[in-house]
C-alpha cells in the first residue's frame, strides 16, 4: 500500500512536469530566419560588397536579439556559408512549425543611384519592377539539381507561371502584410528611404513554399556606394538587425497576446495610397453595427450594393472588448469583425473616401497611430485600390 502510494505520487509529479513543459512549449514563438544565397551563390556583388555575407551577418545579429527575448525560439536556414535549396529553406520553417518566416536579402541595380528598402509578401502582381525582382531571386533555383522536376515545371524566367501554385497565399496574406509593414516602419525610424510604399507583392518561390506568414526583406542597395557601405558596416548591420528584431517582437506581441493589455494596436494590413480621386456619392446615415461579425456582414450588404464602404481599423485583439467609447479612447460608432480567431475593431463608416481619410486622422489624433483604412463591398473586404475604382 505504501509502495502504491509512492508510485501514485511520482506519477502525479511526472504528469505535472509534462503538462508544464507542454504548456511552456506551446507559448514559444518560433521564428525562422533565412539568410539569402550562400556558398557558390554569391547574390549581388558590387564594390566589394557581397550579398550572401551581408545577409548572413544581419541574420545572425537578428537571431541573437531574438534568442535573448523571452519565449522566442529561432530557427536558421543557414548559420554558415553554405548553399540551401529554396524549397529546403521553406521546408525548414515548415518542419519547425514556425510562426513566421523571414528571408533577408540586399537589393542591387545597374542604376547605382537607386537606394532604399522594400519588404515583399507572397503574391501575384502585374507590376514589372516587382516581377523583375522576383525573377532575379527565383533564378537561384537553376543552381539546384533537377530543379525542373523539383519545382513542378516552374520557369524562374517567368514568375507568372506560379499563378496556379498560389492557393495557400491568401490564408496568410494579411498577417504577412502586417509583419512587412512593421519592418518598413522600423526602417523608416532609421531614416531609410521607403521605396514605393515599402510593402510589395511578388511571386517569390522561397515565400511560396512556406506555409505561414512570411516576408522577404530587401535591406537596401549594395549597388549604391553610400548604402552599400552602410550595409557592409558593423554599425549599419547592428541598426538594421535591431530594426528587424523590433518589428518581429512587435508582431509577436500584437498577434499572440499581451498579458498587460486588452486591445492591441496593429499596423496597416495595406498601406494607404494617396490618390487625387474623390467619390462624390453622398454619405449614408450611420447604421448601428452589432457586435457579432455575421451581423456586421449583413449590415454591410444592406447598406449599398454598388459603392465601396470605408472603415478605419483601429486595433486587433484575441480578446473580446465591449464596444463602449471608454474602451476606444472616446471614439464612438465602433464595430467589430471576428476573423481567424482575432477580433478586429473598426471606427466609423462612409462611402466617401475623403471623409474616410478624415475619420482615419481622427483615430490617429486619439492615439491610434497604426490605424489604417479598409474597404468593403457587398459585405466582403476589398483592397483600397479596388474601392477607389468603384
**192 φ/ψ angles, rounded to the nearest 5 degrees:** -75, 150
What pLDDT was estimated at residue 343?
77
Residue bearing cell 444592406: 302
How far is residue 276 from each of residues 43, 59, 174, 279, 307, measured CA to CA in Å? 40, 40, 26, 10, 18
Task: Give the strand pairing for 309-317 and 264-265.
Answer: antiparallel
Distance, in Å, from the CA atom of 380 to the CA atom of 222, rounded to the nearest integer, reads: 42
Under a CB-based contact definition with an 8 Å cutoff, are residues 247 and 132 in contact?
A: no
Q: Which residues pair with 102 in a beta bridge?
A: 33, 215
Under a CB-based contact definition with an 8 Å cutoff, are residues 343 and 316 in contact?
A: yes
* CA-closest candidate to residue 271, choices 119, 167, 156, 123: 119
Distance, in Å, from the CA atom of 319 to the CA atom of 14, rounded to the nearest integer, reads: 33
| pLDDT by position in tens, the chain (length 390) | 455 655 656 655 655 554 444 444 457 899 999 999 999 999 999 999 999 999 999 999 999 999 999 999 999 999 999 999 888 898 999 999 999 999 999 999 999 999 999 998 886 544 444 445 444 454 454 455 555 544 454 454 554 444 444 434 456 777 888 899 899 999 999 999 888 767 887 777 778 778 889 999 999 999 999 999 999 999 999 999 999 999 999 999 887 755 333 334 443 333 333 333 233 333 333 333 334 444 444 444 444 456 889 999 887 766 688 888 888 888 999 999 887 666 788 999 999 988 998 998 898 888 776 677 888 888 788 877 777 776
Under a CB-based contact definition with an 8 Å cutoff, are residues 31 and 99 in contact?
A: yes
162 Cβ contact list (under 8 Å, min separation 6): 124, 154, 203, 205, 208
Under a CB-based contact definition with an 8 Å cutoff, are residues 81 and 87 in contact?
A: no
3-state DSSP of the chain: CHHHHHHHHHHHHHHHHHHHHHHHHHCCEEEEEEECCECCECCCEECCEEHHHHHHHHHHHHHHHHHCCCCEEEEECCCCCCCCCHHHHHHHHHHCCCCEEEEEEEECCCCCCCCCEEEEEECCCCCHHHHHHHHHHHHHHHHCCCHHHHCCCCCCCCHHHHHHHCCCHHHHHHHHHHHHHHHHHHHHHCCCCEEEEEEEEECCHHHHCCCCCEEEEEEEECCCHHHHHHHCCHHHHHHHHHHHHHHHHHHHHHHCCCCCCCCEECCCCCCCCCCCCCCCCCCCCCCCCCCCHHHHHHHHHHHCCCCCEEEEEEEEECCCCCCCHHHHCCCCCEEEEEECCEEEEEEEEECCHHHHHHHHHHHHHCCCCCCEEEEEECCEEECHHHHHCC
Rounded to 5 degrees, what angle do the CA atoms 106, 89, 114 make?
Answer: 15
Residue bearing cell 518581429: 248
What pLDDT was estimated at residue 3?
59
Under a CB-based contact definition with an 8 Å cutoff, are residues 197 and 120 in contact?
A: no
Amino acid at each position: 500500500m505504501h509502495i502504491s502510494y509512492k508510485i501514485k505520487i511520482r506519477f502525479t509529479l511526472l504528469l505535472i512536469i509534462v503538462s508544464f513543459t507542454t504548456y511552456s512549449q506551446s507559448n514559444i514563438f518560433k521564428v525562422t530566419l533565412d539568410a539569402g544565397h550562400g556558398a557558390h551563390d554569391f547574390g549581388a556583388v558590387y564594390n566589394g560588397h557581397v550579398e550572401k555575407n551581408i545577409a548572413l551577418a544581419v541574420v545572425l545579429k537578428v537571431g541573437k536579439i531574438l534568442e535573448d527575448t523571452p519565449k522566442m525560439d529561432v530557427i536558421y536556414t543557414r548559420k554558415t556559408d553554405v548553399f540551401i535549396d529554396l524549397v529546403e529553406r521553406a521546408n525548414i520553417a515548415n518542419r519547425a512549425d514556425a510562426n513566421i518566416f523571414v528571408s533577408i536579402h540586399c537589393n542591387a541595380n545597374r542604376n547605382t543611384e537607386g537606394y532604399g528598402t522594400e519588404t515583399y509578401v507572397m503574391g501575384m502582381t502585374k507590376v514589372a519592377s516587382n516581377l523583375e525582382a522576383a525573377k532575379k531571386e527565383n533564378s537561384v533555383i537553376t543552381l539546384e539539381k533537377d530543379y525542373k522536376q523539383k519545382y513542378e515545371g516552374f520557369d524562374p524566367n517567368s514568375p507568372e507561371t506560379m499563378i496556379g501554385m498560389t492557393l495557400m497565399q491568401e490564408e496568410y496574406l494579411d498577417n504577412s502584410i502586417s509583419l512587412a509593414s512593421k519592418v518598413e516602419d522600423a526602417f523608416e525610424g532609421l531614416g531609410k528611404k521607403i521605396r514605393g510604399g515599402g510593402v510589395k507583392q511578388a511571386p517569390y518561390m522561397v515565400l511560396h513554399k512556406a506555409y505561414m506568414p512570411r516576408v522577404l526583406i530587401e535591406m537596401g542597395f549594395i549597388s549604391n556606394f553610400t548604402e552599400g557601405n552602410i550595409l557592409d558596416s558593423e554599425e549599419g548591420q547592428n541598426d538594421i538587425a535591431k530594426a528587424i528584431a523590433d518589428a518581429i517582437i512587435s508582431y509577436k506581441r500584437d498577434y499572440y497576446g499581451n498579458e498587460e493589455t486588452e486591445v492591441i494596436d496593429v499596423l496597416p494590413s495595406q498601406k494607404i495610397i494617396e490618390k487625387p480621386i474623390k467619390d462624390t456619392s453622398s454619405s449614408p446615415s450611420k447604421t448601428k453595427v452589432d457586435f457579432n461579425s455575421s451581423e456586421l456582414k449583413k449590415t454591410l450588404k444592406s447598406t449599398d450594393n454598388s459603392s465601396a464602404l470605408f472603415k478605419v481599423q483601429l486595433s486587433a485583439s484575441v480578446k473580446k472588448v465591449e464596444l463602449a467609447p471608454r474602451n476606444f479612447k472616446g471614439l464612438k460608432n465602433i464595430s467589430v469583425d471576428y476573423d481567424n480567431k482575432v477580433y478586429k475593431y473598426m471606427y466609423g463608416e462612409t462611402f466617401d473616401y475623403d471623409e474616410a481619410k478624415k475619420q482615419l486622422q481622427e483615430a490617429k489624433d486619439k492615439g491610434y497611430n497604426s490605424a489604417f483604412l479598409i474597404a468593403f463591398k457587398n459585405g466582403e473586404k476589398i483592397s483600397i485600390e479596388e474601392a477607389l475604382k468603384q
